[in-house]
Amino acid sequence: MLLLVVAVVIALPTLDSRVMRQLDPRSVSILNSIAHNIASSADRYPTIPLQVLITPKEAQTKHFYLVRMNGDIISSSKASKAIRRFILQSEESPQPKVKQYKNWLMTGPIPIKLRGEPFQLYAAQQLPAEHNIWLINVLDRPFLLLFITMFVSMPLCASLAWHISKPLQKLQRTAAEITDGNLDAVVPATQRQDEIGELARSLRTMMFSIREHISLQHRLLSDISHELRSPLTRLKMSVALSKRHYGETKEILRIDNESQRLEEMISALLNLSKTQLNATTKESFNLDSLLQPICDDAIFEAEQLDKSFSHQSIPDLNIKGFPALFGSAIENVIRNALRYANQQVNLAISSDTDKITFVITDDGPGVPEDEIEQIFKPFYRVSQARDRESGGAGLGLAITENAIRQHHGKIVASNRETHGLQITITIPIS
């Protein structure tokens, strides 16, 4: 496009007839023929003045000028400033020139000898009013020239933009599908050898690598599940046999408690891995239909613990995501709050045009301020009684944080001003 614009800018002035340039051979031949006729007439009629001999029949639209070596101009009409300027500019030229001034086209000089005296012959011809008027108007108006250049180049720019943007749009749609969890998305094939082609091939290679890693993770998860469950089952059987033979001694009870905790940790680990692996394709789900059974279960569980659970009305919204993963995240936070609350747990829900916010509060002991940002890390257990007394594995909130992150949301923990912990979850609706 740059080369095209430069070529147009260079070429247009050469088309301007107001610029003096060399006369074409055909016009030179015509002028030579006119000069020959004038010389013949001068020889045939030696008494007729030269200004009469060079007056054409179309005197209104054509004029001829004879210029002596001393610069005197002979013509049937007064020479204008334009013709005088043209004569001065072209008199030293070895070849005839041509130039347009307003609506007059001036040509010359043609050497001619009349009655033994050398002259230079010039011609001026009046042009039609519309002759090259559009080109002159364009050249005289830079902004109009710029507009025309942009208008002409627009289709080329559009085709260039389409050539670049179309494959990028395909790659963008594929990337969006991958973001939504569709790892079977087909990366468009391209034979381009530019950066876009390299990007497509890199994206395809990345997809193959991701699928291979996920396949290996599935296999590893299956192996770990089998390898850990088997010795743990044998350990629990051994503890049960020891209880039967030796009774519930302090050591046996300690082994039993630790094996129970180990089983809980393994179950939590497997649950965390499964939620990550199963979240492959997003789907639309109704928030009310998903959360209402969870809230009903929380009310029942709170009653068994002599506590209370309350919640606001759940909005009837459709959200695109992973319903099982999202429900598990909310349920984990509610169960965690019920475990540590003294009496009351509350779920507040608010929504606007682009996001929905869940706030779960309890009236328990809270979390030390210097540890509050660590509670979403796997296996992190708060130094105070909140986790130590419960014997938790420290994976519940890690599972929740992973689920919220996969929904492009945000989860934040903070202590309440009075007492207790507040968990705020923000999920984009779109």
Catalytic (active-site) positions:
226
Residue 20: strand pairing partners: none
Upstream peptide bond of 428 is cis (omega within 30 degrees of 0): no
Under a CB-based contact definition with an 8 Å cutoff, are residues 322 and 418 in contact?
Answer: no
According to DSSP, residue 394 is labeled S
Give the angle 78-36-23 at the CA atoms, nearest 5°: 70
Q: How far apart are CA 329 and CA 334, in angstroms?
A: 9
Q: How far apart are CA 235 and CA 309, in angstroms?
A: 38
Token pair for residue 23? Answer: 């006369």
H/E element holding 418? Answer: none
DSSP of 150-193: HHHHHHHHHHHHHHHHHHHHHHHHHHHHHHTT-TTPPPPP----
Q: The tokens 């469950």 sit on which residue?
A: 229
Q: How far apart are CA 118 and CA 360, in angstroms?
A: 111
H/E element holding 38? Answer: helix 25-44
Residue 119: strand pairing partners: 112
Burial profile 50-86: b = 16 or more Cβ within 10 angstroms, e = fewer:
beebbbeeeeeeebbbbbeeeeebbbbeebeeebeeb
Token pair for residue 165? Answer: 């943007």
Could you count the other beta carbons within 10 Å of the beta carbon of residue 406? Answer: 18
